[in-house]
């Protein structure tokens, strides 16, 4: 959920964010420092796991942080558990839900934004909405978040989703939804811990998510697959700007003899006013670089 995030900033960072291939091994802690992620105001948490070896890097992995759109993977899991047979149904009444004042889920959108969302999301199936909310279908940033809110309404709202996730597996109790997308006004965001995101992706990588049959697992993997990466990368990112500033990269890479699973969460919870675009760019570059740097931790066998 990158509310008010200048598109130019995202475009500028895409080549760094998506570059593939394992970089040469470097000292992890020195790299974090070199990238400016130790500077005052930036809070960093991460967990990196190599299947068969365990946790290889960890820092504040149990501390909840703003998750932004990285939390959408958990929402997609809940939907596939509850409504997989409805994927090709068209959401009836979406136009009315996207009218101003109709549902509190849409309170973070302006009248003009909702008009644009009604145009973009009209007649969409639940499969379409999942694709759009996960960033796999072409859409505006507003539709990207409104599609997620329509899915969340279908699921009964943030609290209901949270309750089911926590009942699914205790390892997911670090994921907490307390609001719809774009209902962010500087007072926080949906939260997750790095270790909970890693647990979610470990289950996804192994195909052992409780309640998901093989067909639903394939659907989930297709929502996460980054086709533009030369490796088998499955990931969902998240971004917020300007208050708080957040960048999250979480997912897994399938290797011939195992799996690398990671969650890198960077946050500036109390940025100065006016917010510094330079600081935000530094945060994004740093987290994105560390997500790529994870690949150097996987042993060459």
User: Is the predicted pLDDT of residue 74 greater than 60, yes or no?
Assistant: yes
210 near 79, Cβ under 8 Å?
no
Q: Per-residue pLDDT averaged across 179-189, rounded?
A: 77
- List C-alpha distances in Å: 26 to 22, 169, 244, 297: 11, 35, 30, 9
- For residue 210, which phi and psi values (nearest 5 degrees)? -55, 130
* Within a domain: 127: yes
What is the structure's pLDDT at 3? 46
Domains identified in the chain, total number: 1
User: Is the predicted pLDDT of residue 261 greater than 50, yes or no?
Assistant: yes
Dist. CA 170–CA 62, nearest whole Å:
13
Asked if omega into 14 is within 30° of 0 (cis), the reply is no
93 near 26, Cβ under 8 Å?
no
Q: Per-residue pLDDT averaged across 167-182, rounded?
A: 96
pLDDT confidence tier of residue 8, bands split at 50, 70 and 90: very low
Q: State which residues form the domain around 74.
A: 7-297
CATH number, domain of 285, equals 3.40.710.10
* Within a domain: 1: no
* Within a domain: 279: yes
Dist. CA 247–CA 48, nearest whole Å:
16
Polymer length in residues for the chain:
301
User: Is the predicted pLDDT of residue 117 greater than 90, yes or no?
Assistant: yes
Dist. CA 243–CA 271, nearest whole Å:
7
pLDDT tens for each residue of 79-114: 999 999 999 999 999 999 999 999 999 999 999 999
* Within a domain: 2: no
pLDDT confidence tier of residue 188, bands split at 50, 70 and 90: low
Q: Per-residue pLDDT averaged across 274-298, rounded?
A: 92
* Within a domain: 27: yes
* Within a domain: 227: yes
Q: Per-residue pLDDT averaged across 24-28, rounded?
A: 67
Instruction: Give residue 64's Cα distance to chain centre.
Output: 14
- For residue 57, which phi and psi values (nearest 5 degrees)? -145, 135
CB contact set of 170 (below 8 Å; sequence gap of 6+): none
* Within a domain: 32: yes
What is the reported pTM? 0.91
């Amino acid at each position: 959920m990158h509310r008010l995030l200048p598109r130019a900033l995202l475009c500028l960072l895409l080549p760094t964010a998506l570059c593939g291939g394992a970089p040469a091994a470097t000292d992890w802690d020195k790299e974090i420092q070199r990238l400016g992620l130790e500077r005052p105001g930036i809070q960093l948490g991460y967990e990196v796991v190599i299947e068969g070896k365990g946790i290889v890097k960890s820092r504040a992995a149990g501390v909840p942080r703003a998750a932004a759109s990285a939390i959408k993977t958990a929402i997609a899991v809940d939907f596939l558990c509850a409504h997989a047979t409805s994927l090709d149904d068209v959401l009836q009444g979406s136009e009315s839900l996207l009218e101003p004042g109709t549902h509190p889920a849409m309170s973070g959108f302006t009248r003009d934004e909702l008009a644009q969302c009604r145009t973009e999301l009209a007649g969409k199936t639940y499969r379409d909405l999942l694709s759009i909310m996960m960033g796999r279908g072409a859409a505006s940033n507003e539709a990207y978040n409104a599609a997620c809110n329509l899915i969340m309404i279908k699921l009964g709202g943030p609290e209901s989703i949270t309750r089911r996730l926590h009942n699914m597996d205790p390892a997911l109790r670090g994921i907490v939804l307390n609001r719809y997308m774009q209902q962010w006004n500087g007072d926080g965001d949906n939260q997750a811990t790095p270790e909970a995101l890693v647990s979610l992706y470990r289950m996804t990588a192994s195909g052992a998510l409780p309640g998901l049959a093989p067909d639903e697992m394939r659907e989930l993997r297709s929502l996460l697959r980054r086709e533009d990466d030369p490796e088998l990368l499955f990931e969902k990112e998240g971004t917020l700007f300007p208050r708080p500033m957040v960048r999250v990269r979480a997912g897994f890479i399938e290797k011939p003899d195992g799996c690398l699973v990671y969650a890198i969460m960077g946050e500036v919870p109390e940025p100065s006013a006016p917010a510094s675009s330079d600081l935000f760019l530094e945060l994004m570059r740093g987290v994105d670089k560390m997500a790529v740097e994870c690949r150097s931790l996987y042993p060459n066998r």
